[in-house]
Amino acid sequence: MNETQCKQLLNSPKGLELVFNEVEKIKNTIKKEGDSNPNIYIRDNKYQISDIQLNGYTFSSRLNFTNTAESSYLLFAIFKGYYDENGKEDIMNPITKKEIIRLNFSFNKDCEFGWQNQENEDEFYKSEEITKIWIDKFFEEALEE
């Protein structure tokens, strides 16, 4: 595929299907972490993906989308404190933002679909890759104390 074909696919109904396929890869990567560590709590959230909670910290993964893949973006965030499954702050463990990234659904020069950092467009990641990077960051933060 060339760049024009990739862009057309991104803006077609098939593009949203691609987004949701990538979200499934992210969820599977997160759930694998839960299977390998019984001390963490993982749950689906109302934003199409999942949260991890450990030692008073939350890793949140969220998908924001409208009717096109091109306007879809992924948010990964690490918080001190907890949200409940509806995204409301736990009053017993209030939230403090530690780190956050927003990534647009896009494609790279080889027409592979994935996520492009909104702040640094040179950074492009496949779903499993960016998820693993942020889960590792989360564990570093949550296990630091």
Query: pLDDT per residue over 100-118, tens digit each?
Result: 999 999 999 999 999 999 9
- The reported pTM is 0.89
pLDDT digits (tens, 9 = 90+) for 25-71: 999 999 988 777 878 889 888 778 889 999 999 999 999 987 788 88
Token pair of 123 as six digits: 């950074």
What single letter denotes the amino acid at residue 62? R
Reduced to 3 states (helix: H, G, I; strand: E, B; else coil), residue 60 is strand
Strands 96-107 and 113-117: antiparallel
Task: Quote the CA–CA distance of 126 and 124 in Å, as a whole number.
Answer: 7
What single letter denotes the amino acid at residue 125? Y
Most distant CA atoms of the chain, gap in Å: 52
Residue 25 near residue 127, CB atoms below 8 Å: yes
Task: Quote the CA–CA distance of 76 and 59 in Å, as a whole number.
Answer: 7
